[in-house]
């Protein structure tokens, strides 16, 4: 098996290189994301390996098929960046559905604590020996209501954490889990009742911009919004307007709907042309991180192992629940 891993960072290579040798696979590590300019590098490969920021359009998929590539191995859970309909009859698509739900939930909780108690601002102040605490006041989470949107494994891990804070937890999911001890409500009711809203659902046509001006108008003044799932679950323009109106107590985003080409890259010396992202950065109660919720040693190793197990399924022609079918 020969695999081209696109969008390779040093931390990807640290895990994939030794493991690929154990599996007996020849893995090519390519720093650039797959594009019209780099797709040719997959010539002679059985599969390409893409991350969440690597888009596979119909044109690129057709080109991969022409090059003899048989599959796309996603080293992530989401697959909205792959044109699945274009893959039918040409390429098999595999993903890593669950690598460390606790890692993402723990990070979501960290974002909540940080943006609530203004730890990011406090850090910057004290670095300059400014010990003034004015403007750093948060709320006590104990006794407040938390709304969890999406009750898969990450959502369930987040529910456990929030209950540990002594919070009342309600949930919204179009497919409720009858085995889960949580009170399910409509999305509208969740927005009305929750002091904290945390998103843990995939991006689909149904969930695209699920939190927009229409839903934001139902939210309590001072609500905290945490998103570690997909950026386009929220309408960025509507969130900015609500921030200007003082609706949100805080917003913490580990994802952004136009993050491609920005997140995972060092753009500190560049002029950022995304006006919405630049505007978000100006609010003192907004915290943005670059899609790192998954980023733990345990999760990275699990991603590498599952990705290579998916490659083995491809090699042996066997079925696996990790394969995505349109």
Residue position matching structure tokens 């004290």: 126
- Do residue 131 and residue 222 come from a single domain? yes
- Do residue 86 and residue 120 come from a single domain? no
- Do residue 128 and residue 202 come from a single domain? yes
CA distance 243 to 238: 9
- Do residue 213 and residue 67 come from a single domain? no
- Do residue 236 and residue 180 come from a single domain? yes
- Do residue 148 and residue 241 come from a single domain? yes
Domain of 12, CATH number, reads 3.40.50.720
Beta carbons of 231 and 257 less than 8 angstroms apart? yes
Question: Which residue from 211, 91, 219 is spatially nearest to 149, judged by alpha carbons?
Answer: 211
**Residue 98 pLDDT:** 83
230 noted as active-site residue:
yes
CA distance 179 to 323: 26
Question: How many domains is the chain built from?
Answer: 2
CA distance 276 to 180: 38
Going by C-beta distance under 8 Å and a sequence separation of 6 or more, which residues neighbour residue 254?
Answer: 107, 108, 111, 227, 228, 288, 289, 290, 291, 292, 293
pLDDT in tens, 84-106: 999 999 999 999 998 889 999 99
Beta carbons of 259 and 253 less than 8 angstroms apart? no
- Do residue 75 and residue 145 come from a single domain? no
Q: What's the length of the chain?
A: 326
Residue position matching structure tokens 């200007």: 244
Q: Which of 241, 259, 267, 318 is catalytic?
A: 259
Q: Which of 75, 291, 298, 315 is catalytic?
A: 291
- Do residue 253 and residue 276 come from a single domain? yes
DSSP 179: T
- Do residue 84 and residue 124 come from a single domain? no
- Do residue 91 and residue 143 come from a single domain? no
Interior/surface letters 21-56, b for 16+ CB within 10 angstroms, e for the rest: eebebebbbbeebbeeebbebbeebbbbbbbbbbeb
Q: Which of 33, 81, 118, 230 is catalytic?
A: 230
Helix/strand number for the chain, H first, E second: 11, 13
Domain housing 138? 101-288
- Do residue 135 and residue 273 come from a single domain? yes
DSSP 42: G
**Residue 29 pLDDT:** 98
- Do residue 265 and residue 123 come from a single domain? yes
pLDDT in tens, 256-309: 999 988 999 999 999 999 999 999 999 999 999 999 999 999 999 999 999 999
Q: What are the phi and psi torsion angles at 188 (to 5°)?
A: -65, -45
Instruction: Give Cα 116 distance to the centre of its chain.
Output: 21
Alpha helices by DSSP H, 131-212: 153-164, 187-193
**Residue 53 pLDDT:** 87
Going by C-beta distance under 8 Å and a sequence separation of 6 or more, which residues neighbour residue 266?
Answer: none
Question: Which residue from 124, 143, 144, 148 is spatially nearest to 135, judged by alpha carbons?
Answer: 124
**Residue 325 pLDDT:** 85
Mean pLDDT in runs of 10 for the chain (326 residues)? Answer: 97 97 98 96 98 94 98 94 95 93 97 98 97 97 98 97 98 96 98 98 95 98 98 98 98 94 91 95 97 96 97 95 90
**Residue 169 pLDDT:** 98
């Amino acid at each position: 098996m020969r695999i081209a891993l696109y969008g390779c960072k040093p931390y990807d290579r640290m895990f994939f290189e030794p493991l690929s040798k154990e599996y007996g696979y020849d893995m090519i590590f390519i720093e650039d994301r797959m594009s019209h300019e780099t797709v040719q590098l997959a010539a002679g490969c059985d599969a390409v390996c893409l991350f969440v920021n690597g888009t596979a359009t119909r044109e690129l998929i057709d080109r991969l098929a022409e090059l003899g590539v048989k599959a796309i191995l996603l080293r992530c859970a989401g697959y909205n960046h792959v044109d699945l309909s274009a893959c039918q009859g040409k390429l098999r698509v595999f993903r890593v559905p669950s690598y460390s739900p606790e890692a993402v939930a723990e990070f979501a909780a960290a974002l909540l604590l940080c943006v609530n108690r203004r730890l990011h601002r406090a850090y910057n102040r004290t670095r300059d020996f400014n010990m003034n605490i004015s403007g750093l006041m948060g709320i006590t989470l104990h006794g407040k209501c938390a709304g969890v949107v999406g009750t898969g494994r990450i959502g369930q891990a987040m529910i456990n954490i929030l209950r540990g804070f002594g919070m009342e937890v309600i949930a919204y999911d179009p497919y409720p889990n009858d085995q889960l001890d949580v009170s399910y409500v409509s999305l509208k009711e969740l927005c009305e009742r929750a002091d904290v809203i945390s998103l843990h659902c995939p991006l689909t046509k149904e969930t695209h911009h699920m939190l927009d001006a229409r839903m934001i108008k139902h939210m309590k003044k001072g609500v905290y919004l945490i998103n570690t799932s997909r950026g386009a679950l929220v309408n960025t323009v509507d969130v900015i307007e609500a921030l200007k109106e003082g609706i949100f107590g805080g917003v913490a985003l580990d994802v952004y709907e136009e993050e491609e080409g920005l997140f995972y890259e060092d753009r500190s010396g560049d002029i950022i042309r995304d006006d919405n992202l630049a505007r978000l950065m100006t609010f003192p109660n907004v915290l943005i991180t670059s899609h790192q919720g998954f980023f733990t040693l345990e999760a990275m190793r699990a991603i590498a192992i599952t990705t290579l197990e998916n490659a083995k399924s491809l090699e042996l022609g066997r079925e696996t629940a990790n394969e995505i079918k349109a």
